Amino acid sequence: MEGKLISIPFLFTLFTLSISVSSVSLQYQTLTLRSLPEPQSLSWATQDSYDFQPLNSQNTLAVQLHHVDLITPYTSLFNTTPHALFKLRLQRDAVRAELLSKLAEAAANANATVKDFSSSVISGLAQGSGEYFTRIGIGTPPKYAYLVLDTGSDVVWIQCLPCRQCYNQSDPVFDPSKSSSFTGLSCDSPLCRRLDSPGCNNKNKCLYQVSYGDGSFTVGEFSTETLTFRKTRVSDIAFGCGHDNEGLFIGAAGLLGLGKGKLSFPGQAGSRFGNKFSYCLVDRTGSPKPSYLIFGESAVTRNTIFTPLLTNQKLNTFYYVELTGISVGGTRVPLITSELFKLGANGDGGVIVDSGTSVTRLTRPAYVALRDAFSLGTKNLKRAPNYSLFDTCYDLSGKTEVKVPTLVLHFKDADVALPASNYLIPVSSEGRFCFGFAGTASRLSIIGNIQQQGFRVVFDLAGSRLGFAPRGCD
């Protein structure tokens, strides 16, 4: 994003029960209206066999990303109407956001002797809200499977034979006995000791167990294995080989943890690709055309603008950034200050960027101020009843496009102007659209993947910064 944003004077007076506006000149942009998409079958453009090459620090890895709703076993489990899928997505999303908030609060209240949290307990897949997935080869020879992309988790894991209890997935369950590169870890190995709650069987093999807030869990052998990303093999990656996996795990074979922790894929292999990766999340209301998850120097594009990454000593997995304000219609909303998003010294509050949460959650005072400012600029649009967690909705039936106020997220050193489709979203096939943000009672705010759509989000861990590049899926 080049150039500076120009602020236009926005004068208004706040009263206890009403808001009046005078001498307002708002900036608008056009939203082309599209209904919720019909469920579509997955079309994977690449084959499961490639010419292999070793990975070194100069290599670039690139794999496709698709939306989780395209996995056939996932969509067949539920009523696959557009409305039913969207409603289910919001239900999944609410569970994940609540657990992330509780996790942050628990870490902030813990005493200093408690270990830093490992995000193995907050998988987006476990909550059913791991929204995007990729296809990766596991083992030697590689067996390809869908893994959910999750920047809020560290541990990489998949379902494995023998299955004491396995959920339905679209590919055959991985058989470690048929992989020449599979190696179980011993109980006294350094990788085993990094687990929050490591176990040990009678053969001195390391066991992992991850339990989730909704009762879901995965249990199995903690091991190392080779992962294949298109033409590139990455060896000796520690991962969970799950033999008992129960709960809300559906469709995908497991999870690719991309968090900041030491057991995540970047944490283990980052030095091999310059500690840089990026993704671009395609619009879920568009075509099933994929985008790409890229590791290496090519992950950074020329038009990327960066904001520094913050460190939360209590939660070393999350990607914290500094949000200083939000503009609506070209003017900063006065009541949305940087203090509302401040990361406390004890680890509470702050703002994280998360691929597994759909709807951006803002701490309640910030959300109310944003919602009210947006509502002032959309007085000409017909209002509709609230929908699920959305309290600002519109009846746009019969229209093909509308004008809506511009919206800019102001991060430290980076102003990110959102496309209209990233904040006024369809919730039905009958023309109801809602403002795509929500409030939370928690002090933790979460930038979700609806607002990230269309941007290439760059994680430059070497430079301790996070970037946004508009039109990054091209």
pLDDT score, position 78: 46
The mean pLDDT value for 413-417 works out to 98
Q: Which residue has the higher pLDDT, 123 or 376?
A: 376
- Hey, what are 330's tokens? 């070209």
Residue 39 lies in a domain: no
- Do 366 and 258 fall within a single domain? no
User: Pick from 236, 257, 273: which residue ends a domain?
Assistant: 273
The pairing of beta strand 232-246 with beta strand 157-159: parallel
The mean pLDDT value for 396-403 works out to 94
Q: Is the pLDDT of residue 49 over 50?
A: no
The mean pLDDT value for 219-248 works out to 90
Exactly one of 69, 150, 154, 415 is catalytic; name it: 150
CA distance 425 to 438: 13
pLDDT score, position 324: 98
- Do 126 and 206 fall within a single domain? yes
Highest mean pLDDT among 23-27, 57-61, 223-227, 281-285: 223-227
Does residue 150 carry a catalytic annotation? yes
pLDDT score, position 169: 85
The mean pLDDT value for 170-194 works out to 94
- Do 332 and 254 fall within a single domain? no
pLDDT score, position 215: 61
The mean pLDDT value for 364-389 works out to 96
- Do 232 and 316 fall within a single domain? no
Residue 60 lies in a domain: no
Q: Is the pLDDT of residue 214 over 90?
A: no
Query: Are 387 and 91 spatial neighbours (Cβ–Cβ below 8 Å)?
Result: no
- Do 227 and 263 fall within a single domain? yes
pLDDT score, position 46: 43
- Do 206 and 244 fall within a single domain? yes
Q: Domain containing 310 — which CATH number?
A: 2.40.70.10
Number of domains the chain contains: 2
Exactly one of 69, 93, 348, 354 is catalytic; name it: 354
> For the segment 62-120, what is each residue's pLDDT rounded down to a tens digit?
777 766 655 544 445 444 566 666 666 666 666 666 656 666 666 665 543 322 222 22
**Domain assignment of residue 364, given as a range:** 301-470
Does residue 51 carry a catalytic annotation? no
pLDDT score, position 217: 79
- Do 268 and 331 fall within a single domain? no
Q: Is the pLDDT of residue 305 over 70?
A: yes
pLDDT score, position 132: 79
- Do 369 and 452 fall within a single domain? yes
- Hey, what are 67's tokens? 């939306």
Report the predicted TM-score, pTM, of the whole model to 2 decimal places. 0.82
pLDDT score, position 248: 60
The mean pLDDT value for 40-65 works out to 54
- Do 133 and 230 fall within a single domain? yes
Residue 98 lies in a domain: no
Residue 448 lies in a domain: yes
**Mean pLDDT score across all residues of the chain:** 80
Q: Is the pLDDT of residue 236 over 80?
A: yes
